[in-house]
Amino acid sequence: MRVAAIQLRSGTDISANIETASELIRQAASDGARFIATPEMTHILQRSANQLFDAIKPESEDPGVKAFGALADELGIDLLIGSLAIQTGENRAANRSFLFGADGQIKARYDKIHLFDVTISETETWKESKVYDSGKKAVMADVDNARLGLSICYDLRFPHLYRHYAREGADILTVPAAFTKPTGEAHWHTLLRARAIETGSFVIAPAQGGDHEDGRSTYGRSLIINPWGEILAELDHDEPGVLVTDINLDAVEAARRKIPAWNHEPPFQMIEPT
């Protein structure tokens, strides 16, 4: 199975971002990729809530949904748009992944469950819940012979989600992201490899990278990792680009057979300290 991860540096202009992403998706498809994934917030990165809501639309009117569905149909690919900002109400939005099938139809939607409400430093604080509503459902979908488990960015820090996906038969975990530079430098590779190792799954993690128009900086370094935790392909920079590689789904069963950790979970009781 030939797969691709697209790395972007999305700005505040939705039309320009769609055009840039589409060019890179075409490049990946021309290199033979049949499943292609883009990062979180593919068509807009905008810190200002007021300006965000001036730009975004409900799903039925969103230009990204229309453009990327048409592109998947044209190229005959499965296309995961890591997420789009979708208006859901007055000053409320969803951080929503869309999986388009080769016919251009939406095969799955996933709303980010774990919202990025953190204080990284005295000068960098994020409160995603001020704008976005948390998703409530884990979502799986089929791509060719593979089963996907969908997630977005900060979800990566919550291993029970990925454990659930693997138990339900996921072969590939997708982690589209816009990691901050400090957290990316400290944790990106470690967390992604850990999720692959813990679950015996492939991990495809397309990222945003570089200095964005809205003032934020993201880490980049998009990755594709095998079920043994080995990095199969990586963009070792912040620039927009395309990462394409072949994966063998037999590696999932092989990794889980070597270390059947799920059979080694005896019940235990928490003992209160005396």
CA distance 175 to 201: 12
40: annotated active-site residue: yes
CB within 8 A of 14, min separation 6: which ones?
A: 43, 44, 55, 56, 63, 64
CA distance 202 to 226: 5
Q: Which of 40, 107, 128, 181 does the annotation list as catalytic? A: 40
153: annotated active-site residue: yes
CA distance 266 to 264: 6
Q: Which of 107, 112, 128, 181 does the annotation list as catalytic? A: 112
204 pairs with which residues across the strands? 174, 224
**Coil, strand, or helix at residue 131?**
coil
CA distance 90 to 3: 38
- The radius of gyration of the chain from alpha carbons, rounded to an integer in Å, stands at 18
CA atoms within 13 A on the CB side of 91: 5
**Coil, strand, or helix at residue 242?**
strand
Tokens representing 25? 């998706």
**Coil, strand, or helix at residue 149?**
strand
Q: Which of 107, 128, 153, 181 does the annotation list as catalytic? A: 153
> In this structure, are residues 189 and 221 in contact, taking their beta carbons and an 8 Å threshold?
yes
> In this structure, are residues 163 and 140 in contact, taking their beta carbons and an 8 Å threshold?
no
CA atoms within 13 A on the CB side of 68: 32
Catalytic residues: 40, 112, 153
